[in-house]
Amino acid sequence: MHNAYKNWIINSYNQIQTEYVELNKLDQIVGDGDHGSTILKGMKIAKDLYLNNMDSSIDESMALVSKQMRIEMGGASGILMSIFFDESGKISESNLNQSLIDIFSKSIEKIKKRGKVKAGDKSILDIYVPILEFLKKNSDSKIHKDEINEILSLSLSKTKDMKAQVGRAKFLENRGLGCIDPGARSTEIILREFFDSVL
């Protein structure tokens, strides 16, 4: 599983590096305009730390990665993004489906608490929640990447029609209507690479 996680983190870093300017442009519409740069910084930290700590257990490596992401990224993005990285360290190859359910359940619980956010508020939760629902419905089946990718694409698209209830976008007159949430987009990229590597 270490190699799968190495691929996940490297591929996520590469993809964010390719798209961080577009993420910044999305964030200029609803926020500070630096979301892409912030996530790129976090993914570089994740990549460098993980590659240097592959002798440790996945749990220990991801706890270290998560902690450093929070410190270096700062702000809400650093806190909320690092939650999944920390929880992902609890993955179990021998009981993959249940461990994925646990990882997403705990991530969602912590994101709700720390971000004071709920599904439908136009946030990263609107990516996590549909994935958890799918995992629960298919807990006894083999999970296929194409099914996950379809859910990720659909969930991201739905954020266009949501009014922002959190972050700076909630102060805009139209609350980001018609615009994909930048946090949801970066989360979609990272989760797509995650499932592509672990399934």
Q: pLDDT tens digit string along 49-83?
A: 999 999 999 999 999 999 999 999 988 888 899 99
Domain assignment of residue 178, given as a range:
2-198
Structural domain tally of the chain? 1
Task: Choose among 42, 25, 27: nearest CA to 167.
Answer: 27
To 5 degrees, how large is the angle CA 31–CA 32–CA 36?
95
- State if pTM tops 0.85: yes
The rounded average pLDDT for each run of 10 residues, N- to C-terminus, in the chain (199 residues) is 96 98 90 90 96 95 96 87 96 97 98 92 94 96 96 96 69 66 95 97
Query: 11, 162 in Cβ contact below 8 A?
Result: no
Say what the pLDDT of residue 175 is: 52
CATH number at residue 7: 1.25.40.340
Say what the pLDDT of residue 142 is: 92
